[in-house]
Amino acid sequence: MMAQTDIADTIDITNKETQYDECVKRLLSNKLVLAWIMKECVPEFAQFSISQIANKCIEGEPQVSKIAVDQDQLDKDELQYFEELPDGRIEGKNTEDSSKKEGKVYYDIKFSAVVPDSKKPVHLILNVEAQKNEKTPYPLIKRALYYVSRMISSQKNTVFLNSHYEKIRKVYSIWIQMNVADEYKNTITRYRTVEENLVGNAVEEEKDYDLMTVLFLKLGSAEEAGDVPILKLLDVLLSSNTEPQKKKEILERNFNIPMTKSMKEEVNTMCNLGEGIREEALAIGEARGVIIGKIDLICKKLQKGKSVDIIASEVEEDEEYISRICAIAEKYAPDYDTETIYDELMKEKVLN
């Protein structure tokens, strides 16, 4: 029989990648990690210590993959009715079954934060997204802008009622990208609303229009992060090459992130899953090469005018099976692009 296809192995990798993604989200949702991100990326928190931000600025527990992005989706804990709290905020209650949420799109991490102020506390809404691959079928910035737009529009009936737009909270969406092109590694880019006077000098208060900010943190190696603490931290935390023990030591020594039992487990899990994904991806690549090699052999026999039954006998495969392969291969005669043939055979589920 022809070598087994990589479908089963791909499923295993997909499962591991899903576990890896969830592990990354849990690591990033650690309050001390979020505090570092906030201090380095959100100007409102720059003056506060990591401890202050983690213990006094982050409100409640960060929601990991629970809050729906689109307005016609249900959250994992769906809001059914609202009540206004003494400080004017609107909080929701949940009674909805979460079984309807399959296949929906959720913010990776979403949480509220407060900037302590002697006069009036400033409330913000933050979203942190982990993006493992740089390549997407759409410009990622457009998706990020959609996210912050939704974070603004979804505040109606949750943060403010009716036409009280003055209560809209500023939102941040922070995208942490791994596996980026070399020229973009260890960079931070910010997108926000600014005022531009075209004629005259009519001005608005910045706090009334600077309501949406998107940041992209593109990671690389910690050694090349320069003197930017947040890049060094994330480079180490999310590295697939740094040994678990070394990673824990750096996090504790350089960033004062204690290695609690759960934190140690998450770091170990992420490292193990990352190693497993690399090894299985390599194995799949080798298996794919073997299959393409056999397809190439079949195509060369077709070029020589050999019949299906003769080819089946020579490659020691079932004749009906070889017939199906040849039927697709003949579509690409006389050049027989084996890579394209392989892809179509996989698409048509011909390969064993």
What is the pTM for the complete model shown?
0.67
Q: Break the chain down into helix, strand, coil percent, rounded to 5.
A: 50, 15, 35
Would you say residue 24 lies in a domain?
no
Query: Is 38 inside any structural domain?
Result: yes
* pLDDT of res. 339: 84
Give SS3 for 226.
Answer: coil
The reported pLDDT for the residue numbered 198 is: 94
SS3 130: strand
Rounded to whole angstroms, how far apart are CA atoms 2 and 105?
39
Q: Are 213 and 191 in contact (CB under 8 A)?
A: yes
Last residue of a domain, one of 201, 231, 256: 256
Q: Is 148 helix (H, G, I), strand (E, B) or coil?
A: helix
**Residue 285 lies in domain:** 1-9+268-352
Residue 14 lies in a domain: no
- Is position 17 within any domain? no
How would you label 289-310 residue by residue, b for 16+ Cβ within 10 Å and e otherwise?
eebbebbbebbebbeeebebee
Asked if the peptide bond before residue 334 counts as cis, ω within 30 degrees of 0, the response is yes
Give the total number of structural domains in the chain. 2
Q: Is residue 23 part of a domain?
A: no
**Confidence (pLDDT) at 66:** 76
- Determine the pLDDT at residue 76: 56
**One domain for residues 80 and 50:** yes
Same domain (yes/no): 181, 295: no
Residues 52 and 201 in one domain: yes
Residue 48, judged by CB atoms within 10 A of its CB (0-12, 13-18, 19+), counts as middle
Pairing of the two strands 109-115 and 90-94? unpaired
For residue 33, give the 3-state DSSP assignment.
helix
Structure tokens at 75: 């959250």
The token pair at 217 is 């943190």
Q: Are 352 and 5 in contact (CB under 8 A)?
A: yes
Q: Are residues 202 and 310 in the same domain?
A: no
Q: Which residues contact residue 301 at a Cβ distance below 8 angstroms, ignoring those fewer than 6 apart?
A: 310, 311, 314, 315
CA–CA dist 80, 89 (Å, integer): 16
Using 70 as the pLDDT threshold, list the residues of the chain that sit under it. Answer: 1-19, 71-104, 118, 240, 261-287, 352
**Domain stop point among 225, 256, 287:** 256
Do 246 and 287 have their domain in common? no
Q: Do 327 and 221 share a structural domain? A: no
Residues 347 and 239 reside in one and the same domain: no
Whether 2 and 76 share a structural domain: no
Among residues 228, 256, 284, which one ends one of the domains?
256
Amino acid at residue number 192: R
Give yes or no: residues 187 and 301 share one domain: no
